[in-house]
Homo-oligomer: A and B are copies of this chain.
Amino acid sequence: MKNKPESPHCSTCGSRHKSVFCSIESEEVKEIDNIKGCNFFDRGQVIFHEGNRVNGIYCINKGKVKIYQTGSEGKEQIIRFAKEGDIIGYRALLSEEPLSASAATLDDAVVCFIPKSQVLKIIQNNPSFNFKMLKILSHELGEAARIITDLAQKPVRERLAESLLLLKDTFELDEDKNIQVKLSREELANIIGTATESVIRLLSEFKKDKLIDIDGRNIKLINIPALTREANIID
């Protein structure tokens, strides 16, 4: 049986200082703490669903999250990932549009919810937070553009190599060079827009070519420079 964990507090939140909330005044922190909600998710649970209206933003206190759209054939397309300290749902909130994507946990996670009114209040009263939001959005937009170009132009093999490197940058490697996130072959396929079988075959090839090692969903990057070349990344 699972112990009901304690709701985290913003004032003691370890990830706050590396997040968009790092420049928030202690007065504001208290206010957020009082008004925020907190939810505990098991692996694979949906945090919010594409098409719905959103009434605040979600702040990931713990855990890893995938943000994905459902294509016209019902196939999942992973747009991006989020982790501890990241916020999600802000796009729909700020554009005043329905959610363009769903979010689901990749492991057990703790996610806080800050209501719209509070978010808007901070944006209006805290120029530094405001500018951080502009920065996050415009950075994301640049990332999206690069993904568009890669999907449009790179073959599947290069896209897979690239997404392994992306996962490395996002979730980092442990001491044994394992990517610190566990994804199914199908989820990998849903990042790069290919068939699950293609991912399985290409991962085996990468392993045979000594670029990676595989143990179940554990992927070890043993030759990152070669992977970078496979991904055809110049910079």
Contact = CB atoms under 8 A, between A and B. Distances in A.
Contacts of A100: 141-142, 145-146
B71 A138 contact: no
Contacts of A193: 151-153
A124 interface: yes
A124 B25 CA distance: 19
A148 B149 contact: no
Q: Which of A142, A150, A154 has the most CB of B within 10 A?
A: A142
A135 B97 CA distance: 10
Q: Which of A71, A72, A73, A147 has the most CB of B within 10 A?
A: A72
B192 A152 contact: yes
A3 to B, nearest CB: 37
A149 B232 CA distance: 22
For chain A, what secondary structure do more than half of its interface residues adopt (helix, strand, loop), or is it mixed? Answer: helix
A74 B192 CA distance: 21
A78 B80 CA distance: 21
Contacts of A127: 124
B95 A138 contact: yes
Contacts of A101: 145
Q: Closest 8 interchain pairs by CB?
A: A152-B193, A144-B144, A95-B138, A137-B137, A71-B153, A100-B142, A77-B149, A94-B138
